[in-house]
Amino acid sequence: SVIRIPRTGDCPKSTGERPAGATPQRRIVREESGGVPLQACIGTGAMGVVYKAVRETDGMSYAVKMLRHRFIYSSHVISRFDQEADLVGRLQHPNIVGLRGHFVAFRTRFIVLELFDGADLRHVLREGPVSESQARAILGQIAAGLQYAHGQGILHLDLKPANILVDQQGNVAISDFGLSRLIEFDGCDQECVGTPCYMPPEQFMMADLGPHCDWYSLSCIAH
């Protein structure tokens, strides 16, 4: 059945900044892809701004995530941004937004993703409750994407309605792997990261992280 998708509005402002969508159109040029003009801003996050872009060579549409310029001298943030591209590049599943490219331009970094024509689950739920059958279908697809990612050795660690994309036909894709990491990660995390309302106790303590953390977050979404 059809999901009620809100109309796309203007990209919201970030505190103390001009609207992210106010960036003038720029053409990102890569030898293998030709010109890719950035068009409307379609989303914002703590580290990046997401634009719709259309490749001139074939008219294909993409979502282009740009690292905010205020982070270009932060080795920690750059490392996270590059890691997101690396980990998403390992995932190919219909319920996970796919990677299409990763490059440097205009003194910052860009991640090119497939464009998912819909809205995030947070905005879908603001339009009103979904039916039980729709809820089952949405949760089942999230679970399928999670199970696949875990099978590839990758944790999401920031699963929440804002990071779940839904189109009018009810197709679902998990997005924003900015806090993701390998299940077998043997390093030492220095800070607690995530979205508190959807984080298990282990994630607050940054100890014993594993697939169960993502399943906890899915339970919060289901609730």
Catalytic, 186? Answer: no
Tokens for 105?
């331009």
- To 10 degrees, what angle do helices 132-151 and 211-222 make? 170
* Cα 120–Cα 113–Cα 115 angle in degrees, nearest 5: 50
Contact 177, 87 (CB under 8 A): yes
Structure tokens at 96: 């996970």
Catalytic residue among 120, 158, 176, 214: 158
Task: Give the helix ranges, DSSP H, for the chain.
Answer: 75-88, 121-126, 132-151, 201-205, 211-222
- Report how far residue 25's alpha carbon sits from residue 141's, in angstroms, rounded to the nearest whole number: 35
Residues linked to residue 164 through DSSP beta bridges, in sequence order: 174
Whole-Å CA distances, 185 to 40, 154, 209: 37, 9, 9
Active site residues: 158
